[in-house]
Chains A and B, each alone.
Chain A
């Protein structure tokens, strides 16, 4: 049971470089999310995909783009990295139901932009 798999686990970028964070889930969940977590803070929603074929902006979407490639995969792209994007990035998936609603998170990508 892999759950949610994120790659890479660590990355260092120079300002202005681009990169794509990959996320895949094997739980057949419809909804997927990208969050960032800065030190000592909660998680802030970057983008989400309520179902395959749809994506929507979250709280902090500037500087990011996403692609819901299929039901399993949801990638996050930084087109021109900035030091302010240094953070830990978590991908998550869920099913939306009345009971036992919760996210399953990937292990995170620790990104440093220098």
Chain B
């Protein structure tokens, strides 16, 4: 099976940089995804890492180390609209994903 751990809450100020970590234990690993979910909304896909290293998409970057079973999401130049829950998810066989319980990010002015 799969299990993932990520912090339950993170707080940062507008304009700052925040890193959300995710560690996982898995019986089959194809990649690590990150999703954003605003209150009352649906999750939206942010990034996917299949290989070790850093992927950058605008203000968001995601990192993966398969040897350490570890990844993180880096959010730069934080804005108030970034306040949301962030989920890491391990992609396993046949495309199915197992999600962590999410990290609630609060951005303060």
Interface set of A (CB-CB < 8 Å, partner B): 31, 33, 35, 40-45, 48, 50, 56, 58-59, 90, 94, 96, 98-108
Q: Does B31 reach chain A (CB closer than 8 Å)?
A: yes
Near A by CB (< 8 A), chain B positions 1-58 give 4, 31, 33, 35, 41-48, 50
Known: A33-B96, A42-B87, A45-B97. A100 touches B48 (CB 8 A): yes
A41 touches B102 (CB 8 A): yes
- Supply 13 further A-B pairs (C-beta < 8 A) apart from A33-B97, A102-B46: A40-B101, A40-B102, A42-B100, A56-B94, A96-B94, A100-B48, A101-B33, A101-B91, A102-B45, A103-B35, A103-B43, A105-B44, A106-B42
Q: How far is the CA of A58 from the CA of B1 in the complex (A)?
A: 11
B95 touches A43 (CB 8 A): no
Query: What is the CB-to-nearest-CB distance from B5 to chain A, in angstroms, rounded to a whole number?
Result: 11
Q: Does B98 reach chain A (CB closer than 8 Å)?
A: yes
Query: What is the CB-to-nearest-CB distance from B19 to chain A, in angstroms, rounded to a whole number?
Result: 19
A107 touches B42 (CB 8 A): yes
Query: What is the CB-to-nearest-CB distance from A57 to chain B, in angstroms, rounded to a whole number?
Result: 10
On chain A, the residues within 8 Å of B33 by CB distance are 101-103
Count of interface residues, chain B, beta-carbon cutoff 8 Å = 24
On chain B, the residues within 8 Å of A96 by CB distance are 94-95
Among A42, A48, A99, A100, point to the contact of B102 (Cβ < 8 A): A42
Q: How far is the CA of A58 from the CA of B87 in the complex (A)?
A: 18
B76-109: CB near A (< 8 Å → 1, else 0) gives 0000000000010001001111111110000000
Q: Which residue of A lies closest to B6 (CB)?
A: A42
On chain A, the residues within 8 Å of B35 by CB distance are 102-103
